[in-house]
Amino acid sequence: MAIKRQGRVHRAVAIGAVGAATLSGLLVSAVPAGAQTITVAGIGRIDVPADIPVPVDIPGVDVGPAVGAPAPVVPPPAFPPLPFALPPLLLPPPPPPFETPGQRAVDAALSKIGSPYSYGATGPDAFDCSGLVQWSYEQAGVDVPRTSYEQENAGRPVSLDDLQPGDVITFYGGSHSGIYVGDGNVVHAADYGQPVDIAPLDSMPVTSAHRY
């Protein structure tokens, strides 16, 4: 009797193994895009269509995640707050706007408004017309001739329609000079008894304009 029972057990195990192997062959031959993997003890891993429910309480069968299923969402680790505060990000200040030598000469000349006129004076306390032009450009690092006649023949000639702050304007055939400050005005040292001041460009006969 024991032998018979043992034979029945062997036959049951064999039949089970054949059935599982047959199931594995059928399922592996055509694995759908959405599938789940089960592991059968003594057989191995088998892909089963995702729409076929597989009981999870079968002894020796381990049901894995479905193939193509989204990965489980794992929350990021929670780090403790830093025991100190990070310093703010300090950016370098923007560079100053570019200033032409002509504009620097204008700024220098305007700083001398009210200074007295003195023939042959080149500053820094008194000026004649060409002396003011020369001194102002010296503050901008540019060498300009001494007299108004020389200033008329130096630099680059420019049209009165293309004037920029800093252009040297000569008047009265070259006997007087001033610096264009914009908006149709010049700064100049006019004559005895008149301090350095701003005057309209068209208040005197213009001879030429030059740019340094």
List the structure tokens of 90. Answer: 């300090």
Query: Mean pLDDT across the chain, nearest whole number?
Result: 79
For 24, how many CA atoms within 13 A lie in the half-sphere containing its CB?
A: 16
The CATH number, out of the four listed (3.90.1720.10, 3.20.20.70, 2.130.10.10, 3.40.190.10), of the domain defined by the range 101-211:
3.90.1720.10
Task: Please give the C-alpha separations between residue 55 and each of 16, 58, 125, 198, in angstroms, as whole numbers.
Answer: 17, 6, 105, 100
Active site residues: 129, 176, 188
Span 151-204, pLDDT tens digits: 999 999 999 999 999 999 999 999 999 999 999 999 999 999 999 999 999 999
Which residue intervals of the chain bear CATH 3.90.1720.10? 101-211
Taking the C-alpha atoms of residue 171 and residue 141, their distance in angstroms, rounded to an integer, is 25
Taking residue 43's Cβ as centre, other Cβ atoms within 10 Å add up to 17
pTM: predicted TM-score of the whole model, two decimal places = 0.57
Confidence of residue 38 (pLDDT cuts 50, 70, 90): low
Are 28 and 6 a contacting pair, CB within 8 Å?
A: no
How many CB atoms are closer than 10 A to CB 190? 16
